[in-house]
Amino acid sequence: MSGGLLLAQGEPIIPDFGEGSDCVVENRFFCPDWVRDNWAGVIQPALLQHVKLVVIAVAIGFVLSFAAALVAHRYRLVEAPFTAFSAVVYTIPSLALFQLLVPVTGLTVTTVEIALVGYTLLILFRNTLEGLRSVPPDVLEAARGMGYTRGQTLWRVELPLAVPAMFAGLRVAVVSTIALATVAALVIPYGLGYPIFLALREAFKTEIVVAGGLAVLMALVADALLVAAQRALTPWASARRLA
Amino acid sequence: MSWLLAADLGVFADALRFVADERTLILEKTWEHLKLSGAAIAIAIVLALPLGAWLGHLHRGSFVAINLANVGRALPSLAVIAIGLAFLGIGFANVALALVVLAVPPILTNAYVAVDEVEPDAVEAARGMGMTRRQILWRVELPMALPLIFAGIRTAVVFVVATATIAAVAGGGGLGDIIVNRAAYGLEGVVGAAICVSVLALAADFLLGLVQRLLTPPGLRADVHALEPDVTTGVTRL
Amino acid sequence: MSGAAAEIVFDRVTKRYPGRAEAAVSDLSLTVPAGEICCLVGPSGAGKTTAMKLVNRLIDFEEGDITIGGESVRSLDLTELRRGIGYVIQQVGLFPHMTVAENISTVPRLRGWEKGRTRLRVDELLDLVDLPAEDYRARFPSQLSGGERQRVGLARALAADPPAMLMDEPFGALDPITRARLQHELLRIQGAVRKTIIFVTHDIDEAILLADRIAILREGGVLAQYDTPARILEHPADDFVERFIGSDRGIKLLSLRRLDELELAPLDGAIDLRASGDTTMRDALSQMITHGSRSLVVVDSEGQPRGVVTLDALAALAE
Ligand SMILES: Nc1ncnc2c1ncn2[C@@H]1O[C@H](COP(=O)(O)OP(=O)(O)OP(=O)(O)O)[C@@H](O)[C@H]1O
Ligand SMILES: [Mg+2]
């Protein structure tokens, strides 16, 4: 019982990749023919599942922490407990959190989503709140002086000025959720983690490299998209950067 | 809500009983877990801290130092371990190496940012008073940077403790051995080990938070939220 | 290099920043006699800070030379040079992780003074800058007001009793009342310690109040005039200097002179306004205008009337 489930320690790996090209049989670093043969059947579905996992988790996490940040902005008392709760969730190892949820929600996508949402809370909450609080007092006073109500000040002044901080939080949340979601495969056969996990059994390099590489690529693309979206949404911020 | 009805909450009681009954096993796995994490962190600190602090002192290499954290965040640990496994084989040393790769970015980036962002006026005053480069680094920059440097180490420690769980699939040992082996230990074993690993991570984070606070010079203490995880360079926790 | 004040001499110093066509300091020659305050003034970007930082070589230069007490700053070891020159900047730059006492003792510790001596020195300096040692020694910079920080900065610069001090707009960020208080405090301290001080400011009034000599720089770090405040006000060298010191130079001139210097008219009748002989003529003028009076009685230290000054007499001087 000293080794893992999949590989007993020290046990020799006997490559057996069935029929296939020489490349696959020899388990080279990267075999294009394997990718071509398995794209539609293995890689593409896993990729789409992965995107779905991440989009849903970040969307729900965003809505929750946004609402919590608005409340905490109005009632300071709310900040400490929400921060403490999300910090504890953030610190629990993901594999453990997935397993801790299994008795409650079973071996389902729901289990994975709950955990992933949990990991986004701390970053999104704190960044949104700090963004809201970062508005200089003179700006707030000017808004008040011009006759904005509290609600108008929030929607027209504080929230727009908090957008850069919120985007900074979103970038971290999206990129880390993409990486985290690979671990879900240790609970259910879902997302890009699953091919990695399967390939891990046989140390099959091509599949590991392709699936792992796609996860990294997805993170980079998502990050770039968020940066572009932020530029478009907050022209004043980039104007200052250029000046 | 049907899944709630189906929820088998008795498992948690069984899990705690498992931990109590199998404490020898749990302790042995916890020890393995700590050894693996400790080795990886020690190596990562030796490699990353001096480099980051020195680059920060020179205000050079910001692009690499800062983006390293972003890249680190985007690297799925599972993939890093899998790649390490595919190319280096299984075992303690190789898994430790994969963990080092994951621990270096937060340590290096925090050390860089911490020293780079030390108040320039204080550094200028130190220069004006005739401190040598070394004296500026040791007496002004490092003490002022210490809390943030330590925050990076803390992030890395919690990260590595968590990731070491996954390392079990690559024969790294530790509590992950139990978590990924439901066939042998049953759901109660898996959940029990998950509880242990969570407690381990939370305790590490809490204790290091206390140390971080102690390390903060009293004059700077007001700005430090010692008991909260560092999310500025916060990498993925796994 | 410590103790008695030292003369500072700029000898045809030119500083060019790499990649910039115009020099930041051009062919600057001036002598600051030992124990005097020299104010560097001029518009923003005129090269005041640059000229000052050449002295402790925070900025290096190639052309010309600067000597302190006869020794070229280039011949001295860099750290020794800097430890021998007090340095005060606008942002103060106190070390936030050190207490007030630790901040002040930075240079003594760098020089390896023993603990007892350092401690005594810290208390002496806190006393000098008017911060009770008992109360302030163990505080951190974050627990001080802006003016208190600046005092600690001054004490830190004075700690190892350097023969020279460099001060870059040290009071620039303070409110007018605190600034005025610290200016007078600096003069009091200077009376006691007699350092050679190069003081950068772009406030001409501050320069007139503090300086023994004023160096006015124009764009490109060209010296427009170097002289005592009174002579600069009386005989501005050119249009630039005249514009820089402002159209009210007559009044400024009055701020340099005290009622004692005047021939007093004999007392005639009852006049309410009184002032002591060391009041500046500017303040006396201001009092008369404020109270709508055309004359003022000068009293001696016992409060006995000595004579009268009239508005007309002051106005004639300000011409
Ligand atoms: N490190 C530098 N590199 C290049 N140019 C510089 C540098 N520092 C200053 N300069 C330029 O040299 C000139 C003089 O600058 P300096 O800081 O000495 O002015 P100053 O008189 O102190 O102005 P201020 O009153 O605004 O402080 C300016 O044109 C400035 O832009
Ligand atoms: Mg300046």
Q: Say yes or no for a CB contact (<8 Å) between B130 and C94.
A: no
> Do residues C89 and C14 both lie within one domain?
yes
Does residue C3 lie in a domain region? no
User: Would you say B78 and A196 are in contact if contact means Cβ atoms under 8 Å apart?
Assistant: yes
Rounded to the nearest angstrom, the distance between the alpha carbon of C17 and the centre of ligand 1 is 9
Of the candidate ranges A34-43, C34-43, C188-197, the one whose mean pLDDT is the lowest: A34-43
Average pLDDT over residues B81-104: 81
User: Would you say C249 and C68 are in contact if contact means Cβ atoms under 8 Å apart?
Assistant: no
pLDDT at B217 over 80: no
Query: What does DSSP say about strands C295-299 and C274-276: parallel, antiparallel, or unpaired?
Result: parallel
Average pLDDT over residues C259-279: 81
Does residue C252 lie in a domain region? no
* Rounded distance between C-alpha atoms, residue A6 and residue B184, angstroms: 12
> Do residues C229 and C276 both lie within one domain?
no
* Rounded distance between C-alpha atoms, residue B192 and residue B235, angstroms: 26
Protein residues with CB under 6 Å of any ligand 1 atom: C 17, 20, 24, 42, 44-50, 202
Does residue C76 lie in a domain region? yes
Taking the CA of C59 as reference, the closest ligand is 1
Does residue C1 lie in a domain region? no
Q: Is B75 on the interface with A (CB under 8 A)?
A: yes
Q: Is C140 on the interface with B (CB under 8 A)?
A: yes
Average pLDDT over residues C223-234: 93
Any alpha helices (H) in A75-158, and if so which ranges? 79-91, 94-105, 109-133, 137-145, 150-152
Give kind and range of the element (H or E) at residue B97.
Answer: helix B92-116
How far is the alpha carbon of B104 from chain A, nearest alpha carbon, in Å? 17
User: Would you say B228 and A91 are in contact if contact means Cβ atoms under 8 Å apart?
Assistant: no
Partnered with residue C39 across adjacent β-strands are C199, C214
**Residue B196: what residue type?**
C
Q: Which two tokens stand for residue A49?
A: 């599942």
* Chain B residues 194-233 with CB within 8 Å of chain A: 194-195, 197-198, 201-202, 205, 228-229, 231
Q: Which two tokens stand for residue C160?
A: 């190892």
| For testing contact with chain B, the best of C53, C89, C95 (most B CBs within 10 A) | C95
- Give pLDDT, residue A63: 97
Q: Which of C13, C25, C48 to mutate to test the pocket of ligand 1 (most atoms within 8 A of CB)?
A: C48
Rounded to the nearest angstrom, the distance between the alpha carbon of C25 and the centre of ligand 1 is 9
- Give pLDDT, residue A149: 78
- Give pLDDT, residue B169: 78
Taking the CA of C44 as reference, the closest ligand is 1
> Do residues C282 and C305 both lie within one domain?
yes
* End-of-domain residue from the set C247, C277, C306: C247
- Give pLDDT, residue C239: 93
pLDDT in tens, C118-173: 999 999 999 989 899 999 999 988 889 888 999 999 999 999 889 999 999 999 88
> Do residues C292 and C164 both lie within one domain?
no
Q: Is A227 on the interface with B (CB under 8 A)?
A: no
* Chain A residues 182-201 with CB within 8 Å of chain B: 182-183, 185-186, 192-193, 196-197, 199-200
Predicted model pTM: 0.76
Give kind and range of the element (H or E) at residue C198.
Answer: strand C196-200
Give the residue among A219, A195, A223 at the shortest CA–CA distance from A209: A195
Q: Taking CB atoms and an 8 Å cutoff, what residues of chain B touch A7?
A: 90, 169-171
**Residue A187: what residue type?**
V
- Give pLDDT, residue C209: 92
Fold of the domain built from segment(s) A5-242: MetI-like fold (1.10.3720)
Q: Taking CB atoms and an 8 Å cutoff, what residues of chain A touch B234?
A: 90, 123, 172, 176
> Do residues C186 and C288 both lie within one domain?
no
Closest alpha carbon within chain B to C153? B125
How many domains is chain C built from?
2
CATH number, domain of C30, equals: 3.40.50.300
> Do residues C168 and C308 both lie within one domain?
no
> Do residues C75 and C183 both lie within one domain?
yes
Q: Whose CA is nearest to atom 18 of ligand 1?
A: C47
Angle at B179 between CA B175 and CA B184, to 5 degrees: 110
* End-of-domain residue from the set C247, C271, C294: C247
- Could you give the dihedral angle defined by the CA atoms of residues A173, A175, A178 and A180, in that order, rounded to the nearest 10 degrees? -70
pLDDT in tens, B201-212: 999 988 988 888
> Do residues C207 and C120 both lie within one domain?
yes
Residue with structure tokens 């608005």?
A70
> Do residues C226 and C284 both lie within one domain?
no
The range of the structural domain enclosing residue C271 comes to 257-318
> Do residues C273 and C174 both lie within one domain?
no
Residue with structure tokens 């299984």?
B90
> Can you list the domains of chain B with their CATH numbers?
9-237 (1.10.3720.10)
> Do residues C234 and C275 both lie within one domain?
no
User: Would you say B229 and B235 are in contact if contact means Cβ atoms under 8 Å apart?
Assistant: no
How far is the alpha carbon of C81 from chain B, nearest alpha carbon, in Å? 7
pLDDT in tens, C276-314: 888 888 888 888 888 888 888 888 888 888 888 888 888
> Do residues C39 and C101 both lie within one domain?
yes
* End-of-domain residue from the set C222, C247, C272: C247
CATH number, domain of C273, equals: 3.10.580.10
Does residue C282 lie in a domain region? yes
- Give pLDDT, residue B224: 46
